[in-house]
Structure 1
Amino acid sequence: MHDPNRNISAVMITYNEVEHIDAVIENLEFVDEMIIVDSFSNDGTVEAIGNHPKVTLIQRPFKNYTDQKAYALSQASNDWVLFLDADERLTDALREEIIKVTQKPNNPVAAYYFYRTFMFKKERLRFSGWQTDKNYRLFRKSKVHFKEDLIVHETLVVNGKSASLKHKLIHFSYKDYEDYKGKMLKYGQMKARHTAHKNVSPNFFHFYLKPGFKFLYNYICRLGVLDGKKGVTICYLNALGVYARYKELERLKQQHAKSTESRGIKPIQKQRDLSSTAA
């Protein structure tokens, strides 16, 4: 008899992941169900997925990460869900650990963190802020949901106990300089859109001091210096993401001001307080 509480659904969202898609699908062949929600890739990803009959492919427009992941999660048939990105891989040891905990009778854990090993091309990045990187990747569908008010760096809300698995997930995030730069710029811009409603006027502090602190913190305090040239590159690009966030926020505020002006709405000016000049 089928017991959805003991079986595993692998779920992921994709957009233009042809470089990774075959490898990640093959990496997940042990699961009972595999669902991919694709945002209309145009690089051959969809055609590659079609070569894997076990995979259920759903194409859906991308609104933001939280919305897309919440929808993908809702499609899973099993309670245990393994939610990966296309550039992540399970080691044999981690796969066995996943099988063990999901088959454990009366397991009280609702969600598991996976620590990740960050790969710089084909070399391991040991520091630069990534050494303690972890994310929820295995959880019970019935015990979690994605926090709706975040559109980037989505947050999983867990109703129950959390734990961490011992073995690490391999994260092939850095393909080349331009690819990783594009990711950092995209994340920065999306974070700006998320915080555009806040009363923040970007200035010298946001454009230079915050990115500078981000670089120095990861390079010095988080030991990026020990990663050599790789550390310089990663710490710089992560700082660039901070700069991109505030440049996009500045652009959005200017755009809003022009839109308001074009509609003939004048900004409210504070009335001068004359009490201090009264005779």
Structure 2
Amino acid sequence: MDTPRAAANPVPPLSACIIAFNEADRIGDCLASLAFCDEIVVVDSYSTDATVEIARAAGARVLQRPFDGFRSQKQYAIEQAAHDWVLCLDADERVDERLRTAIEAERERAFDGAAGYRFARLSEYFGRFLRHGNAYPDRVLRLFDRRRGGWRGQREVHEAASVDGAVRTLPGDLIHYPYRSLEQQLAKTERYARMMAEHDYARGKRATLAKLVLAPAWRFWRGYLLRGGFLDGWHGLVYAYVRANYVRQKTVMLWMLQNGQRVTTSDS
């Protein structure tokens, strides 16, 4: 008699893990795209808007924790999950249909032979999805077995998950809505630049005059020309310029730190 498929190759349960802060306008669509998961865990940094209420109404298990870094917050989220296979998203991301189908197909095979999966992230930028330059495919490892990896390392910004074992690439996109306005993007970019400069300085990295002059220019021309950012029209131009400015800010802040200067005021 044939052994039932479910007994021979059980489908692993899957937890979705999200970190959030004041995402009432975006978290609903994120949660809706994760309806195929067995559990959704939201770690909230004490939002002052309706983020928590929206998440609970959608069936998520909401935990609140003071924010002490993106990596730490995401690692905490996967540690609270009920299941070992986890899918990690930010509140401004959604799983598209093609990616969902690919994830479910791998899950039906019990994620056979893989420790994790990466997939492309497609970012919307002021009315247009960027499909060229440094913006795409921007592949990220977000689906993995937490027993074999996680949000490791010391860097709290531009954090990345890693696993011990095989990593496969799935078709489909993680749809990303990163900015509500240009003002928000510029503020976010400056914050990330400061965090990266402080991280690099603490670990002995130093800026040079050549990096001050050349690194921002290289970031712009690599993304805009060599990787075809110009194909995204004026959106690609603005994106490439702002990303180059991020490199400039990060390098200038590192330069200031290594010369004994502060990069923030006491109340910032």
Give me the TM-score of the superposition, normalised by structure 1: 0.83
Aligned with 2:27 (options 21, 29, 51): 21
Which residue number corresponds to residue 169 of structure 2? 164
Gapped runs of 5+ residues in structure 2?
1-6, 263-268
Between stretches 99-108 and 158-167, larger displacement belongs to: 99-108
Does 1:87 pair with 2:92? yes
Aligned with 1:196 (options 184, 198, 201): 201
Which residue number corresponds to residue 144 of structure 2? 139
**Identity among equivalent pairs (%):** 33
Aligned with 2:14 (options 8, 15, 20): 8
Structure 1 residues 87-109: Cα deviation after superposition (integer angstroms, max 9, x where no partner) = 11112222122112112147111
Which residue number corresponds to residue 228 of structure 1? 233
Partner AA of 1:50 in structure 2:
R
What is the distance in 2 between the residues matched to 1:8 and 1:122? 33
What is the distance in 2 between the residues matched to 1:200 and 1:227? 34
Partner AA of 1:6 in structure 2:
P
Shift of 1:12: 0.9
What is the distance in 2 between the residues matched to 1:86 and 1:210? 31
Partner of 1:108, secondary structure, is coil
For the 8 Å contact 1:67–1:148, the answer to whether it is kept is no
What is the distance in 1 between the residues matched to 2:111 and 2:120? 24
Aligned length: 255
What is the distance in 2 between the residues matched to 1:244 and 1:38? 29
Alignment RMSD, CA only?
2.3
Structure 1 residues 72-131: Cα deviation after superposition (integer angstroms, max 9, x where no partner) = 110111121111111111122221221121121471111000112221133221212122
Partner AA of 1:60 in structure 2:
R
Distance 1:236 1:79, change over 3 A: same
Partner AA of 1:19 in structure 2:
D
For the 8 Å contact 2:142–2:161, the answer to whether it is kept is no
Does 1:109 pair with 2:125? no
Which residue number corresponds to residue 191 of structure 2? 186
Distance 1:248 1:33, change over 3 A: same
Distance 1:196 1:91, change over 3 A: same
What is the distance in 2 between the residues matched to 1:87 and 1:78? 23
Partner AA of 1:57 in structure 2:
V
Structure with larger Rg: 1
For the 8 Å contact 1:4–1:77, the answer to whether it is kept is no
Shift of 1:42: 2.1
Give me the TM-score of the superposition, normalised by structure 2: 0.86
1:64-83 matches, cutoff 5 A: 64-83=69-88
Which residue number corresponds to residue 56 of structure 2? 50
What is the distance in 2 between the residues matched to 1:16 and 1:136? 25
Which residue number corresponds to residue 264 of structure 1? none
What is the distance in 2 between the residues matched to 1:256 and 1:230? 35
Shift of 1:133: 0.9
